[in-house]
Chains A and B, each alone.
Chain A
Amino acid sequence: MPVITAIDLVYDYGARRAVDGVSLALERGELVALIGPNGAGKTTLLSMLAGVLAPTTGAAVTHGRVGWVPQIGAVYSRLSVAENLRFFARLEAVPDAEAAVAAMIEQMELGERRAEPVGRLSGGNRQRVNVGIGLLGAPAALLLDEPTAALDPLQRERLWGFIHRFVATGTAVLFSTHDMEEAGQRPDRVLEMVDGRLV
Chain B
Amino acid sequence: MRSRGRVLGWVMIKDLAILRRSPLLVGILVLYPVALALIIGLALGAPTPRARVAVYTGVPAGHGRVQLGGTAIDIGAYTRELSGSITPVRVPSVAAATADVRNGVTEAAIIVPADIVAQVESLVRNGVGTPTVRLILDNANPIERDLVSAQIQTRIDQVQAAIAKALLATALTDLHTVVAGGQLSFAGANVDLLGLSRARRIVAGAIPQLSRTALGGRLGPPLRRVVSFADIAIEGLSFASPVLGQLQNPLTVARTSLTAVRTPTAAYAVAIAVTVSELFLAMLLAASLLALERSEQVYARLVRGPAGPVLLLVAKLLLAAAAAAAVTFVMSAVVSVFVPLSWGRVELWVLVLLVAGLAFAALGVALGAVAREVAAASLLAILVGLPVAFLALIPPSAISTGLGNAVAVISFLFPFKAALGATAAALTGGGSGLALTLVHLLGLALAFGGLARVALRRFAAAA
Confirm or deny: A73 has a beta carbon within 8 angstroms of a beta carbon on chain B. yes
A158 to B255 CA separation, bound complex (whole angstroms): 84
Residues in A neighbouring B10, C-beta threshold 8 A: 87, 90-91
A68-B304, A91-B305, A92-B306 given; A79·B18 CB < 8 A: yes
Q: Which of A50, A72, A73, A93 contacts B3 (CB 8 A)?
A: A93
Q: How many residues of A contact B (CB 8 A)?
A: 25
Nearest 8 pairs of A and B residues by beta carbon: A78-B21, A74-B301, A74-B297, A72-B297, A74-B298, A52-B300, A51-B304, A90-B10
Tell me if A91 and B17 are in contact (CB < 8 A).
Answer: no
A91 to B3 CA separation, bound complex (whole angstroms): 10
Q: How large is the interface on B (under 10, 10 to 19, 20 to 34, 35 or more residues)?
A: 20 to 34
A-B contact pairs, 10 of them (CB 8 A): A68-B301, A70-B300, A75-B296, A76-B18, A76-B296, A77-B296, A78-B18, A87-B14, A88-B305, A91-B306
Tell me if B302 and A91 are in contact (CB < 8 A).
Answer: yes
Residues in B neighbouring A13, C-beta threshold 8 A: 461-462
Q: Which residues of B contact A (CB under 8 A)?
A: 3, 6-7, 10-11, 14, 17-18, 21-22, 296-298, 300-307, 460-462
Q: Which of A50, A68, A74, A91 contacts B296 (CB 8 A)?
A: A74
Q: Which residues of A contact B (CB under 8 A)?
A: 13, 47, 50-53, 68, 70, 72-79, 83, 87-88, 90-93, 117, 133
A88 to B460 CA separation, bound complex (whole angstroms): 20
Tell me if A79 and B21 are in contact (CB < 8 A).
Answer: yes
A83 to B304 CA separation, bound complex (whole angstroms): 20
Name the residue in B306, B307, B461 with the highest tally of chain A Cβ atoms < 10 Å from its Cβ. Answer: B461
Q: Which residue of B lies closest to A133 (CB)?
A: B301
Q: Which residue of B lies closest to A51 (CB)?
A: B304
A50 to B303 CA separation, bound complex (whole angstroms): 11
Q: Which of B7, B14, B297, B305 contacts A73 (CB 8 A)?
A: B297
Tell me if A93 and B14 are in contact (CB < 8 A).
Answer: no
Tell me if A74 and B306 are in contact (CB < 8 A).
Answer: no
Q: Which residue of B lies closest to A50 (CB)?
A: B304
Other A-B pairs, 6, CB within 8 Å; known A79-B14, A90-B10: A51-B304, A53-B460, A73-B297, A77-B296, A78-B22, A92-B306
Residues in A neighbouring B298, C-beta threshold 8 A: 74-76
A50-B304, A90-B10, A91-B10 given; A70·B297 CB < 8 A: yes
Q: Which residue of A lies closest to B307 (CB)?
A: A91
User: Whole-angstrom distance from the CB of A149 to the nearest CB of chain B?
Assistant: 13
A109 to B299 CA separation, bound complex (whole angstroms): 27
Name the residue in B3, B297, B301, B304 with the highest tally of chain A Cβ atoms < 10 Å from its Cβ. Answer: B301
Residues in A neighbouring B3, C-beta threshold 8 A: 93
A148 to B6 CA separation, bound complex (whole angstroms): 34
Tell me if A93 and B300 are in contact (CB < 8 A).
Answer: no
Tell me if A52 and B21 are in contact (CB < 8 A).
Answer: no
User: Whole-angstrom distance from the CB of A55 to the nearest CB of chain B?
Assistant: 12
A68 to B300 CA separation, bound complex (whole angstroms): 10
A93 to B4 CA separation, bound complex (whole angstroms): 11
User: Whole-angstrom distance from the CB of B297 to the nearest CB of chain A?
Assistant: 5
A76 to B7 CA separation, bound complex (whole angstroms): 17
Q: Which of B301, B304, B306 contacts A93 (CB 8 A)?
A: B306
A52 to B300 CA separation, bound complex (whole angstroms): 6
Residues in A neighbouring B460, C-beta threshold 8 A: 52-53
Residues in B neighbouring A72, C-beta threshold 8 A: 297
Residues in B neighbouring A87, C-beta threshold 8 A: 10, 14
A120 to B364 CA separation, bound complex (whole angstroms): 30
Residues in A neighbouring B300, C-beta threshold 8 A: 47, 52, 70, 74
User: Whole-angstrom distance from the CB of B451 to the nearest CB of chain A?
Assistant: 21
User: Whole-angstrom distance from the CB of B289 to the nearest CB of chain A?
Assistant: 12
A133 to B3 CA separation, bound complex (whole angstroms): 20
User: Whole-angstrom distance from the CB of B313 to the nearest CB of chain A?
Assistant: 16
Q: Which residue of A lies closest to B22 (CB)?
A: A78
Tell me if A76 and B14 are in contact (CB < 8 A).
Answer: yes
Residues in A neighbouring B307, C-beta threshold 8 A: 91
Residues in A neighbouring B6, C-beta threshold 8 A: 90
Residues in A neighbouring B462, C-beta threshold 8 A: 13
Tell me if A91 and B7 are in contact (CB < 8 A).
Answer: yes
Residues in B neighbouring A73, C-beta threshold 8 A: 297
A60 to B201 CA separation, bound complex (whole angstroms): 128
A70 to B18 CA separation, bound complex (whole angstroms): 22
A78 to B293 CA separation, bound complex (whole angstroms): 12
A68 to B298 CA separation, bound complex (whole angstroms): 12
A74 to B21 CA separation, bound complex (whole angstroms): 18
Residues in A neighbouring B7, C-beta threshold 8 A: 91
Residues in B neighbouring A53, C-beta threshold 8 A: 460-461
Residues in B neighbouring A51, C-beta threshold 8 A: 304
Tell me if B296 and A70 are in contact (CB < 8 A).
Answer: no
A117 to B21 CA separation, bound complex (whole angstroms): 10
Q: Which residue of B lies closest to A54 (CB)?
A: B461
User: Whole-angstrom distance from the CB of A127 to the nearest CB of chain B?
Assistant: 12
Residues in A neighbouring B303, C-beta threshold 8 A: 52
Residues in A neighbouring B304, C-beta threshold 8 A: 50-52, 68
User: Whole-angstrom distance from the CB of A139 to the nearest CB of chain B?
Assistant: 12
User: Whole-angstrom distance from the CB of A100 to the nearest CB of chain B?
Assistant: 15
A74 to B460 CA separation, bound complex (whole angstroms): 15
A13 to B462 CA separation, bound complex (whole angstroms): 7
Residues in B neighbouring A77, C-beta threshold 8 A: 296
Q: Which residue of B lies closest to A69 (CB)?
A: B301
A77 to B305 CA separation, bound complex (whole angstroms): 20
Residues in A neighbouring B297, C-beta threshold 8 A: 70, 72-74
A63 to B304 CA separation, bound complex (whole angstroms): 16
